[in-house]
Amino acid sequence: MKDIVYELQDMRYLNWARTRKSSGTAGSFLKSYDDTGVIKKYYKLSDYVPGKGIVGHECINEVIVQRLLDMLSIDHLNYRLIHALVHVDGSDMETYLCESEDFKRDGESKMALEDFYAAEKQDGETPMDLCTRMGWEQRIYNMLILDHVILNRDRHGANIEVLRNRKDRSLRLAPLYDHGVSLLCRCQSINDIPSFDVLANRKVQSFIGTSSTFENLSLIPEDYIHVFLQEHSIGDMDRVRLFEGFEDVLPEQYIEAIWKMITGRWNQLDSF
């Protein structure tokens, strides 16, 4: 698979900067970059807890969600999952990390949507109102649909970005990115899976809307969801496409539960 590199790569040369998890729980996500080549590469690790090591599988989630986004024809940042040897806090660790490239075009600068909203909002205007005024409503509708299906817990105001080109005076929303804190990210072992209700309406961070992905669907016109479901479907053949190549990367219990989550929450869209 082109989005998974199975052969162990020695990437101990990367220096990792710690970024606290926006969810506020223990641990952190470590990020790095390599600008020695023609194209700058960005890297991140799954959840890291000092003294325990890399305990999460958020990087794997990124590629699963990426494939789902391809199936739904939604613009997104491309990730590659790499089997790597890394050096963190004085220790060598074998793990899977994510690699990506910059999504900015020449001449573009980026700004978090929350900062753009603070600077550009009109009186009484909500973030959804602003996005509609800017002509971005369909992009946001697609994002809200996705976030419900994958139970994205981390769509805060800096995980949506506005790209500005001052030369041609253009503004656009960045492709969707950063979906690691979704799916079964809270299940750090297979023992956690049976007690995790994949269809539950759990509290999430969402800059647009409320802390409920289900409630946020009410921001989308009913006919838009209806047409979206007519144009896209998730069936048994998609299971193969979604998880192909993950057999030696993720235990089968995770794959089965993630598939149950995606199909179950997809069906909730129809009931909504």
Any bridge partners for residue 93, and if so which? 86
Is residue 77 within 8 Å of 175, Cβ to Cβ? yes
In this prediction, residue 20 has a pLDDT band, given cuts at 50, 70 and 90, of: very low
The string of pLDDT tens digits covering residues 100-145 is 999 999 999 999 999 999 999 999 999 999 999 999 999 999 999 9
pLDDT at residue 29 is higher than 90 = no
Is residue 23 predicted with pLDDT exceeding 90? Answer: no
Q: For residue 156, what pLDDT is reported? A: 95
Q: CATH assignment of 108-271, given 1.10.1070.20, 3.30.530.20, 3.50.50.60, 3.40.50.2300? A: 1.10.1070.20
pLDDT digits (tens, 9 = 90+) for 109-118: 999 999 999 9
Residue 19 has what pLDDT? 56
pLDDT digits (tens, 9 = 90+) for 181-196: 999 999 989 999 999 9
Please indicate whether residue 165 or residue 28 has the higher confidence score (pLDDT): 165
Q: Give the pLDDT band of residue 24 (cuts 50, 70, 90).
A: very low
Nearest-angstrom CA–CA distance, 11 and 191? 31
Q: E-strand spans in the chain?
A: 4-10, 17-20, 28-34, 41-44, 48-49, 53-54, 79-88, 91-101, 108-112, 154-155, 161-165, 170-173, 205-206
Asked if 46 contacts 27 with a C-beta cutoff of 8 angstroms, the reply is: no
Q: Specify the pLDDT at position 27.
A: 46
DSSP 212: B
Residue 175 has pLDDT above 80, yes or no: yes
Dihedrals phi, psi of 27, to nearest 5 degrees: 110, -175
Instruction: Supply the Cα-derived Rg of the chain in whole angstroms.
Output: 19
Query: Band of the pLDDT at 18, cuts 50, 70, 90?
Result: low
Q: Chain-wide mean pLDDT for the chain?
A: 93
For the chain, the domains span: 4-101, 108-271
